[in-house]
Amino acid sequence: MFDVIMVPIDGSDYSFEAADFAIEIAQKFSSKIAAVHVLEEFSLNSFDSQEDSGDALLAKVTKKANDVGVEVVEHLLTADPLRDMKFIADQTRADLVVIHAHGANNNRFVSFDENEVSDTQIGSVSERLLRNSDVPVLLVK
């Protein structure tokens, strides 16, 4: 049913919760995981520093998945998560995207009903992906 399950990893505990769900689903469907970490296009940190950090985050997901027999393909990319997540999902050939409602920048929220503030507020990257994705998106809360 799902050949490739993409999970964005931003280093937050939230993203690792989403990875846990993705790994569990991958086990049940004999799927591969496409673990994605996006390096910031414009950052004050050195590229090498960001790259090393991203590699370590992806390695953590890979180890956890490999320990239960799930194959992972790591994707370390330079992009804008808000703008490019749909494109990244397309490029990884994902059949499903598993993403947490909140990420590392959990201070930017949107609501499905702009006229009301509610508990259904989610992060801007998650919201944009939900609205624009061509594949199913599992939102972990």
Instruction: Return the pLDDT at 125.
Output: 85
Evaluate if pTM is beyond 0.75: yes
Q: At what angle do helices 124-132 and 81-91 cross, to 10 degrees?
A: 40
Predicted confidence (pLDDT) per residue in 96-128, tens digit? 999 998 765 544 444 445 544 344 567 888 888
What SS3 state is found at 16?
helix
Instruction: Return the pLDDT at 112.
Output: 47
pLDDT < 50 positions in the chain: 106-112, 115-119
Q: CA-to-CA distance for 126 and 132, rounded, in angstroms?
A: 10
Instruction: Return the pLDDT at 118.
Output: 46
